[in-house]
Amino acid sequence: MRLAVITGGSSGIGAATARLLTARGWQCVLLARGAELLEKVAAEIQAEAEVCDVSDRAQVDEVAARIAERHPAVGLLVNNAGYTGRRGFLELQPEEIENIVDTVYLGSVWCTRAFLPLLEAARPADVVNVVSVAGTFAHGASGPYSASKHAQLAFSRSIRTELAGRGVRVHTVNPGPVETPGFPQRHLLSRRVGSRLVLQPERIAETIVRAVERDRAEVVVPRYLRVAGAVQALAPGTIARLATRARGRL
């Protein structure tokens, strides 16, 4: 049975991914900070639970060492832990901005580095970085989160190249809006058009598994949101003007 480590495995996309992987015959180890929910989800799917704050490099190294004592190899690492501060650069406290960067961006870096020996021991192995459309398109809302997702996306693209030839394939999954406990989509769900944009976490879990099975470098889900990053790259001034106007109407 192959072993998968899923950060943020106690809720939303991480929990849905763990359930799907378990159904496909994987043994899962779930990481999160809150023990209660983590252990509940782990018990439901006979997974192992490890309390760990991925923004803390020492904790990540300790968890990887503990897992290495029990398992010789890890076939899949899903870097999924994350949260959004929901506010802008001037609204959040400096510590909150640091924590978002440390969790969303650096958490993926620390986990990938810490689990690399176990991933290489499982060759061929896979890493999935759950990034976001917010990592391809920035429009002012939740700026620190979006900036951290941009950094995480650059990390994911870079490390795919760095690990090529070492038997560890890296995949990026960029979801649009998904209804989860940490990212309630009330503002979209309350509108008829908006509600059609919102996906369920199970859809992202399927995308994650498919990205591994088909060795996809980068996937945006839903696919049409690929246009967001492309349009901003081509016309950043126009997007900035439209975003400023929309902000003025709020």
**Active-site residue set:** 145
Closest distance to ligand NAP from the beta carbon of 156 (Å): 12
Closest distance to ligand NAP from the beta carbon of 236 (Å): 21
Instruction: Kindly write out the interface string for residues 187-226 of this chain, putting x where it contacts ligand NAP by CB under 6 A and - elsewhere.
Output: --------------x-------------------------
Asked if residues 17 and 81 have their Cβ atoms less than 8 Å apart, the reply is no
Q: Rounded to 5, what percent of the chain is helix, strand, coil?
A: 55, 15, 30
Q: Is 63 in the site for ligand NAP (CB under 6 A)?
A: no
Residue 4's alpha-carbon distances to 49, 83, 84, 117, in angstroms, are 12, 21, 25, 14
Give how many residues touch ligand NAP by CB under 6 A.
31
Closest distance to ligand NAP from the beta carbon of 137 (Å): 11
Instruction: Kindly write out the interface string for residues 110-139 of this chain, putting x where it contacts ligand NAP by CB under 6 A and - elsewhere.
Output: --------------------x-x-------
Other CB atoms within 10 A of residue 197 CB:
16
Residues 140, 246: Cα–Cα separation, whole Å: 10
Asked if residues 76 and 2 have their Cβ atoms less than 8 Å apart, the reply is yes
Residues 66-105 that bind ligand NAP (CB under 6 A): 80-83, 103
Three-state secondary structure string covering 12-37: HHHHHHHHHHHHCCCEEEEEECCHHH
Query: By Cβ distance, which residue is nearest to ligand NAP?
Result: 182
Residues 189, 138: Cα–Cα separation, whole Å: 21
The pair phi, psi for residue 62, each rounded to 5°, is -65, -45
Residues 3-32 that bind ligand NAP (CB under 6 A): 7-8, 10-14, 31-32
Select the span of 53-61, 158-166, 213-221, 222-230 touching ligand NAP (CB under 6 A).
53-61
Asked if residues 20 and 9 have their Cβ atoms less than 8 Å apart, the reply is no
Count helices and strands in the chain by DSSP H and E runs? 11, 7
> DSSP E strands: which ranges in the chain?
3-7, 27-32, 48-51, 76-79, 125-130, 168-175, 218-221
Select the span of 114-122, 171-179, 207-215, 242-250 touching ligand NAP (CB under 6 A).
171-179
Q: Is 53 in the site for ligand NAP (CB under 6 A)?
A: yes
For residues 61 and 120, which CB has a smaller minimum distance to ligand NAP in the complex?
Answer: 61
For residues 191 and 241, which CB has a smaller minimum distance to ligand NAP in the complex?
Answer: 191
Q: Is 108 in the site for ligand NAP (CB under 6 A)?
A: no
- Could you list the residues that contact ligand NAP (CB under 6 A)? 7-8, 10-14, 31-34, 52-55, 80-83, 103, 107, 130, 132, 175, 177-178, 180-183, 201
